[in-house]
Structure 1
Amino acid sequence: MRRETGSLIRFLIMICLLIRTFSFSQENPIALCQNMYDNREFTAALSCVRGQLDSGRVTTRIDSFKAFELAGMLCYILDDYDNANVYFRDILGMDRFAEPDPVTVPPEILAFYKRQKSAFEQEHPLITLAPPVPKKSALRLLPFGAGHIREKKYFRGFSYAAAAAVCLGINIVSYNSRKLLESPNGRYAPDDLDSAVGLYNIQVGSFYGGFLGIGFISFVDALITN
């Protein structure tokens, strides 16, 4: 009886481990491929990661990075340097500042990656947006409305405040959107330059547009009061 109970317990434990492994592989589509790599089954691991990429199971940015990194390493190990370069450039296409983990990536592969990164940076140089972008903030418009409201000039005060709020919203959104395109050193990729220039023009336009709005509101207020 005890022997049968022990066998049943071991069987249940094995089932639980299998379920856990299956669940983990579903959550992490590269896990099985990584296990093959760890077991030095390089050809099988490469087929695995390519299959996962082709199947569409790799959906998140993190999983994509891991998949391209693993595929690049495997191609390098299997002396397929051209495809290793392709996979590493896929990483750089996602994030040109990406760096593989030196703890998990062998030094010779890391050196190969850095050479490809250097070539990629030369082929796709960052561009500085000139002239330097001034910090134009529509916050400067807010005192116009507050002062008139204190003087009980409500039409002009609330009109100024509304204009300032609209300009400030446009100003903030355009500024933050442009900053998302900006690299850490304040430059832009060629593909993003037109968008950055457009957002810059919107940002500055919202600043000066606020003053034009103030002039228009003053003109309308003068017509009404007269």
Structure 2
Amino acid sequence: MNLPGCRAPAAISLLVALLGLLALGTAPARAEPPDKLLARARAEFEYKNFENAARLLEQLLVPQVRLTTEQDIAEAREMLGLSYFYLGHQEQARRQFVELLYLRPDHRLDPFLIPPAAVTFFDSIRKEPAVREKLEQIRKSRQASKQPPPPRPPPPRVQTLVRQRELMRRSRLVAFLPFGLGQFQNGDTLKGVLLASGGGIALVANITCYSLLVALANENGRYAPGDLQLARGLRIGQYVALGLFAASWIYGAIDANLNFQETVPGPWRESRQPAAGGQSDGLQGGLAPVPGGAVLWFGSRL
């Protein structure tokens, strides 16, 4: 016996099964890649199946664009707009043509392939004041984006003023030499002049006295009775001059060694060099080794 209550579950099960089959049938279409969907729409459009072409193109453009290249989007917009136009949907066709013009402001329909009525409709949309103004703005914006940026002004010519001074190495041997040479090396010019003058005078006096003694002596090295007093004085002068020379030498050697410094900064030297990029402004300096010593340098950006 069939009861009315037993038919309701069966009807519900049948409805669920039909919905499942419908979902399975539509799933592949939804998952179809955009390029294949565009190819199918192109074939339907060429065979003048405008309803099928419009349905496929709507899947690519509505509610969001699934195509990636400008060429594919422009082709899809043109075919969808023409399909709407051929189907008599003027307002929908106009919206697609406006979007096509916003994408490509200078786009034209091919009059050799498109009927004159469609070409005239498309051109009338282009000539609308609001659309024409918008297209002009798009052209100017794109033209401005294509213009190269203004050239950068040349960088300022910057030079580095480099001041260098070498570390001069002094000789310990010079500190033991006479005539104030050790003082001159140490930079004690006044002491050097005094010791050089005193030592030089003493040495000249010593040599002079010796030469006069040799001149007064006979071939036997003896002096005449009248020259003995003079010879005695010359002998004393010779020894005194020799002692003064030795004293100045010893004093100069001791003083030079006490004030001796092995290395001292030399005189400053300036040079201009092109500044390398990335250097900071301000005073710079460093110590660079060179053969026989080192170079202490300072530089400032001008």
Q: TM-score if structure 2 supplies the norm length? A: 0.37
Structure with larger Rg = 2
Richer in helix (by share): 1
